[in-house]
Each structure stands twice: as structure tokens, then as C-alpha cells.
Amino acid sequence: MPLTKIQSLGITDGTIVNADINASAAIASTKLSGVVSGLTEADQWRLTTDFSSDAEITSNLERVDTYGFGLSGTGMTQSSGVFTFPSTGYWLVMAQATILSRQYGNALLGILVTTNNSTYNYSNQIRQGNAHYGYDTEPNATGAGFSIIDVTDIANVKVKFRTAAFGDGSTLRGDTNTNVTSFIFIKLGET
């Protein structure tokens, strides 16, 4: 018959000591090595001024610093628009773009990734579709793109952002006080 209940009357005082309980807990925790509670890295950057050419975004980027923003972990570093990850692992990179089109609204914001610190390829493209807008209107279109990147080497795996196919009057919106175009980096787990 299995034991389902221990009567406290049957245990002599001092038989089970704290040291025994602590040793059991330490053994259990070693069996759980590699388990991390919660996300260890989360960061957000934004474009601070409007951008209206087909080019890589190399300037006017800042870490978000308003309205309750919270950085978790070390955070990303950025130099001339090239973002470096603080640690290896699986990273979710999100780009949210707001595009203003006054005429033919053909515009793109791309997430570019390198795995050799040299050659970049599109990992994701955010497009604002082809449409004709009158000169008197200023329609804003928003879109978002997402990429999960396996960062195996922080010296070689990096990301940057590039605009392309901007029609006449198209502008990627930027603002230093709010996130109209922004970039989010979240570490999902270890590689």
C-alpha cells in the first residue's frame, strides 16, 4: 500500500533538519540548469526625423526615452545605423514604419541582416502599396515587419534598416517624442 500521508506524530523532533531540506533544493536546482525566467533583453529605438530617400538609415536614430519606456538587459548598440546584439541567442527584430505619401505611394522599409559582418540581405520588407493620392491629401500608412534572427556570433550577425522605392512625395516619418517609426529587439532565448 503506498504511503499517502505522513503523520507528524511519527516524526521525532530534529529528525529532518534544515540542512537536509536545503541540500535537496540545491540538487533539484542543478537539474534545472539552463532555465531562465522571463525575457533577459528588450530594447526599442526610433527614427527621430523624417527620411525621404532610397538609402540605408545611418543617422537620426535614438533609443526610446519617453513615456515610460523600460530597457531590459544591456540593450542594443548602434553605429551609423548598424545594430549590434549584446549577446547570442534567438532575437525577434520588429520594425514599425509610418509612411506619408502625397502622390504615388510606393515605399518600402526593409530589415537587412548579415551573418558575416559584410554582406547584408533582406530579412523582411514592409511595403506601403501602390496607390495614387491627390496632392491635397497627406495619407499616412503604417506597417510592421518581423524577423527571428539566430545570433550565433555578436561580431558577425548584425542588422540595419533600408528604405527603397520611394515615390514622389513619400516620406518615412520620424519623431523624437513618439514612436512613429521604431525598431524593437527582444531576445527570445538561447541559441
pLDDT of 106 reads: 62
| 103 alpha-carbon distance from chain centroid | 32
Separation in Å, CA 93 to CA 13, 79, 132, 181? 57, 17, 31, 14
Question: Is 183 in contact with 44 (CB distance < 8 Å)?
Answer: yes
The pLDDT value recorded for residue 53 is: 83
Q: How many helices (H) and strands (E) does the chain have?
A: 1, 11
In a structure prediction context, what are the per-residue pLDDT tens digits for the chain, which is 191 residues long?
A: 565 665 666 666 666 666 655 655 555 555 556 555 678 999 999 999 998 888 899 999 999 999 888 899 999 999 999 999 999 999 999 999 888 876 555 677 889 999 999 999 987 676 554 444 445 566 677 788 889 999 999 999 999 999 877 766 778 899 999 999 999 999 999 98
Dihedral pair phi/psi, residue 68, rounded to 5°: 80, 15
The CATH T-level fold of domain 37-189 is Jelly Rolls (2.60.120)
Check residue 104 and give its pLDDT.
56
